[in-house]
Structure 1
């Protein structure tokens, strides 16, 4: 059998099935390909941090499929999984385990070791319970992804070939105790608790990309010491990396921050990097002050990726006494980002504070060559035109601007080029209208927009309907 795929509707009221019965009916399982099993029961799934005790008997027993090349098990959030005590997964290269609870005497680390999985390259463990200790010794492992392993107490990784390591919300309830030895690691995502007294990261000479836990921008007024400690530990993690090619950080805002303290003033170090990615979860608040503080610590960046939180539900408006815009020095003080050449901003909604921030960003970026802006799916075509005109007026003549819109509000994959302002050196501009705009309306917009550009500017307007139709 080359591939086996199954979907179960087993819930807590029915006995557990044996999804791999076709593979294990004989003394020697015959699967020699990919195994995919997904349990989907509406309304009965449990989250990874559900504290209810598991019943030991409600567990699947995974046989040793020595011919399987990939195994993907999603057990719906409440089912148990018992790993085989013996046997070798001789050909297994990929193992994905999700929404399950570990049972039985066999530990996951033993099962995925080189002795029993000599070819394993990718291991992903997400939304699981009852995995308290994980020790992996693998000569072949290249990618390791651990997310929401709630209750994890100790982590040890000895993987000399490992290239990518992701750790997200695993040490939430415990002090992080970890020892990582991966000298060839190139990408490290550590969005988890960190304590240098109990966490050992060996030398990673090949490291190119680092992603850290989030920084809280403002305190909530109730847990200020806890919030400051969280930020302090995140900075201590980043202090291990003086220089890194690509750095990813996150800025988090509380919903209620009135009269609260600006916590980022305690952050005085970020690694020197060429590429900076900032994820902003702003809950509708102004974020200029927070980003200004970050940029002051990263003046040498060459490329900037800024992703704003996108939510189809309307964000609550800031109250009149909200302190999210403080300190206000970001509006007046000069900042030179004289290496920054490329900017990409995702999910702009067109709010007043967003426009003000983009204007300042143009002022700070003295050698900017290009800016790509992706509007939030809630933005209408008329608003997009207004914002495009504003951003074009803010920019230097030599800066190219491209803005993108979403043709389907429920599908972020439907982005298309809406308008483009080329640099003065290129002397041309292109705009693409969505197919919902009539040709007459497109001509009206064409005449209006053409009046904004220099006489020597060559403008081309298209209607996007399958193949683009050139208006002029």
Structure 2
């Protein structure tokens, strides 16, 4: 049996018992704009396999609690940008597919127990960064697939200070780790800033350093060229170019959106030096940037220093740069 409901306000007072289970045959349930206590209602559906919930526009539906022994697929769309606190709790031992999208204005609590999950798509967007490292604030966390963690970050105003930055940043990421990851995608809105010090700080965190096998960095640039302010601390600490971190399991790296700046080459050299198991490296220029002879020379010099690594320098169009 399938059930679709929109704009329903349901209050369940009784508890299911052996002789009375009102939705015994229900296998698929779709709820949109419905005020319902899922923690109370779901036990009435012992055969439920698919649950779709859209709470967009419902102020008092900030807590999503699902406990089901039969549920195999769960889709949650929580689009309330003004919710100060959101809590998501899922306990489903046979869940195979999880899709969830949230907007968080404040703290978000996550508790997921789904040992059999095979497919994951997870996104949490923050109305404003509530944690970050140095200049960079976290604006979105995604799990686009089971073993990939995607972080979206951008520079914040100078007046923003993140207390206990590294601890808070790590704890916020851990909330969303529905599954273990081996791939990290970083989407950075650079706005003219140096990113090397920050990325190395991030990669040096134990949770990331010990899991990382595949790294993809996407540098997002505005159409208007931004300039880094004088004495900006984005390049701090200055010794990041000679820093050594252990990326023992990193095998593949891809960087998109390079602008041909010196600090980008510096970062590339650090990664080569710190990742002894590196197998492939691909770099792509930003849209509208033409590779100069100097750019090609610098890239080739770095690549030639590591002949065991398969290296590629591509244009945005995916046409191979002639270097």
Q: TM-score, normalised by structure 1?
A: 0.48
The alignment partner of 1:294 has SS state of helix
Question: Is 2:150–2:187's contact at 8 Å kept on the other side of the alignment?
Answer: no
Pair 316,372 (structure 1): closer, same or farther in 2 beyond 3 Å: same
Alignment of 1:414-429 (within 5 A): 416-419=318-321
Residue of structure 1 in register with 2:63 after alignment: 133
Q: After the TM superposition, which residues 312-323 of structure 1 pair with which residues of structure 2 at under 5 Å, given as runs?
A: 312-323=222-233
Higher RCO (CA < 8 A, seq sep 6+): 2
Q: What pairs with 1:310-389 in structure 2 (closer than 5 Å)?
A: 310-380=220-290, 382-383=291-292, 387-389=295-297
Partners of 1:126 and 1:316 lie apart in 2 by 39
SS at match of 2:186: strand
Q: Would you say 1:236 and 2:144 are equivalent positions?
A: no
Shift of the 170–418 alpha-carbon distance from structure 1 to 2, 3 Å rule, reads same
Structure 1 residues 214, 370: closer, same or farther in 2, change over 3 A? closer
Q: Please tell me whether the aligned partners of residues 146 and 170 of structure 1 are also in contact (alpha carbons under 8 angstroms).
A: no
**Offset at residue 132 of structure 1 (A):** 3.2
Aligned to 2:141: none
Q: 1:285 aligns with which of 193, 199, 207?
A: 193
Structure 1 spans left out of the alignment, 5+ residues: 1-65, 74-80, 195-207, 247-273, 408-415, 420-430, 432-448, 450-472
Structure 1 residue 321, shift from structure 2 partner: 1.6
Rate the CA distance shift 1:109–1:376 in 2: closer, same or farther, 3 A: farther
5 Å-filtered alignment, 1:46-85, equals: 81-83=6-8
Alpha-carbon shift at residue 290 of structure 1 (Å): 1.1
Give 1:189 deviation, angstroms. Answer: 4.9
Paired residues for 1:231-310 under 5 Å: 231-237=166-172, 245-246=180-181, 274-297=182-205, 299-300=209-210, 303-310=213-220
Larger radius of gyration between Structure 1 and Structure 2 = 1
| Gap change, CA 1:295 and 1:335, over 3 Å in 2 | same
Matches of 2:86 and 2:284, distance apart in 1: 41
Partners in 2 of 1:132 and 1:240 — Cα distance? 16
Could you say what secondary structure the match of 2:230 adopts? coil
Is 1:121 the counterpart of 2:50? The answer is yes
- TM-score where L is the length of structure 2: 0.66
| 2:87 is aligned with 1:162 | no
CA distance in 2, matches of 1:377, 1:290: 23
Equivalent in the alignment of 1:394:
302
Contact 1:135/1:156, CA 8 A, preserved across alignment: yes
1:56 alignment counterpart: none
Deviation at 1:301, TM superposition (A): 5.5
Count of aligned pairs between the two proteins: 285
Q: Deviations over 1:43-88 (max 9, x none)?
A: xxxxxxxxxxxxxxxxxxxxxxx668xx8x9xxxxxxx51386989
- Contact kept, 8 Å, 2:257 with 2:284, in 1: the verdict is yes
The 3 A distance-change label for structure 1 pair 349 and 228 is: same
The 1-side partners of 2:229 and 2:150 are apart by 31
For residues 112 and 149 of structure 2, the distance between their equivalents in structure 1, rounded to whole angstroms, comes to: 16
- Which range moves more in the overlay, 301-310 or 390-399? 301-310
CA contact (8 A) 2:215 2:250 kept: no
Task: Provide the secondary structure at the position in 2 that maps to 1:305.
Answer: strand
Cα offset, 1:418, TM superposition: 1.7
Counterparts of 2:180 and 2:308, CA distance in 1: 26
Distance 1:304 1:283, change over 3 A: farther
Pair 406,214 (structure 1): closer, same or farther in 2 beyond 3 Å: closer
**Contact 1:338–1:367 at 8 Å: present in 2 too?**
yes
